[in-house]
Amino acid sequence: MYSDNVMERFRAAKNAGTLKGANGRGEVGNVTCGDIMRMYLLVDTKTDIIRDAKFKTFGCVAAIVSTDIACDLIKGKTIEEALLVKNTDVIREMGGSIPPKKIHCSVLAQESIEAAIADYKKFKAKLETK
C-alpha cells in the first residue's frame, strides 16, 4: 500500500518525540479511525520563526509519516508561513500519491500544525500581557 520511501520514513521518523521547552502544543484526532496526533513547537517569540518541531502520533503509517513530514515542512518558517502548509504539500513529499482512504491522515497533519500554532499564539498573547 505504501512506497519504499514512505516505509523508510515510518521506520526512522526523525522528528518523533516530545520537545523540551515547547511553547506551542497541538492535539488533533479523527473520531472515525481513532488516531491522535500531538505536535510540539519551539517558536522564537521575537521573530515567530519555528526553531524546532516534534510529534507524537498514535495511529497508522500514513499518520506518522504525515506528521514527520509536516515537522520538516514548518521548521525554519514563520508561523504565518507554516499556516500555508497544506495536506497536499504533505502528500507531495510522500511521493505524490497515497491511498484515498488515507488522505484524511495528511489532513490531520495539517490540522496538528494549525492547533500547535493556535496554542503558541495564546502563549505569546499571555507573554505580551505580562
Q: Which of 6, 15, 22, 35 binds ligand FES (CB under 6 A)?
A: 35
Residues 6+ apart with CB under 8 A from 98: 2, 6, 62, 91, 105, 106
Q: How far apart are CA 32 and CA 82, in angstroms?
A: 27
**At closest approach, how far in Å is the CB of 99 from ligand FES?**
10
30 forms part of the interface with ligand FES (CB under 6 A)? yes
Options 13, 22, 62, 90; binder of ligand FES; rule CB under 6 A: 62
Per-residue binding letters, 63-92, with ligand FES (x by CB under 6 A): x-----------------------------
* 71 assigned to active site: no
60 is catalytic: no
Task: Say how far apart CA 78 and CA 35 lie, in whole Å.
Answer: 28
Residue 60 interacts with ligand FES (CB under 6 A): yes or no: yes
Burial class (CB in 10 A: 0-12, 13-18, 19+), 21: exposed
